Structure 1
Amino acid sequence: MSVSARFSAEALELARKLGTSTLFEASGLPTSAVDPAVRPVWAGASVAGSAYPVECAPGDNLAIHVAMEKAPRGSILVVATGGFVAGYWGEVLTVAAEASGVAGLVIDGGVRDIAALTARRFPVFTRGISVRGTIKASVPSVGRTISFTGTPVATGDLVVADDDGVIVIPAAQAEATLAKGQARADKEAIMMQQLSEGRSTLELLSLAQWSQR
Structure 2
Amino acid sequence: MQKTSDISDQLHPNVQYLDPVYCGYGAKIDFYGMIHTIKCFEDNSLVREMLDTDGQGRVLVVDGGGSKRCAMLGDQLAEKAVKNNWSGVVVYGLIRDSEMINKMPIGVRALGTHPLKSIKKGVGEAGISVSFSGVDFIPGDYLYADQDGVIVVKELVLC
Q: TM-score band (shorter)?
A: 0.7 to 0.9
Instruction: Report how far residue 30 of structure 1 moved.
Output: 7.0
Residue 150 (structure 2) pairs with residue 162 (structure 1): no
**Aligned-partner residue type, residue 57 of structure 2:** G
CA gap of 1:72–1:122, structure 2 versus 1, over 3 A, is: closer
- Equivalent residue runs for 1:115-126 within 5 Å: 115-126=99-110
Determine the structure 1 residue equivalent to 2:24: 40
Cα shift readout 1:123-174 (whole Å, capped 9, x = no counterpart): 1111111112100124322112211323111222111001111111113xx4
CA gap of 1:168–1:71, structure 2 versus 1, over 3 A, is: farther
- Equivalent residue runs for 1:175-190 within 5 Å: 175=157
**TM-score (ref. length: structure 1):** 0.66
1:160–1:166 contact (8 Å) kept in structure 2: yes
**Aligned-partner residue type, residue 164 of structure 1:** D
Instruction: Report how far residue 29 of structure 1 moved.
Output: 3.3
Which runs of no fewer than 5 residues in structure 1 stay unpaired? 1-15, 183-213
CA gap of 1:26–1:39, structure 2 versus 1, over 3 A, is: farther
CA gap of 1:141–1:29, structure 2 versus 1, over 3 A, is: farther
Greater radius of gyration (CA): 1
Query: For the residues of structure 1 that align with 2:46 and 2:66, how far apart are their CA atoms?
Result: 15
Which runs of no fewer than 5 residues in structure 2 stay unpaired? none
| Range moving further from structure 2, 20-29 or 90-99 | 20-29
Structure 1 runs, 4 residues or longer, greater than 3 Å off = 69-72
3-state SS in 2 of match to 1:125: strand
2:143–2:152 contact (8 Å) kept in structure 1: yes
Higher helix share: 1
Determine the structure 1 residue equivalent to 2:81: 97
Instruction: Report how far residue 22 of structure 1 moved.
Output: 2.2
Determine the structure 1 residue equivalent to 2:48: 65
Residue 120 (structure 2) pairs with residue 144 (structure 1): no
State the identity as a percent: 27
| Range moving further from structure 2, 126-135 or 70-79 | 70-79
Determine the structure 1 residue equivalent to 2:93: 109
What RMSD over aligned residues (CA atoms) do the two structures have, in Å? 2.2
Instruction: Report how far residue 26 of structure 1 moved.
Output: 2.6
Determine the structure 2 residue equivalent to 1:75: 58
CA gap of 1:124–1:149, structure 2 versus 1, over 3 A, is: same
How many residue pairs get aligned? The number is 158
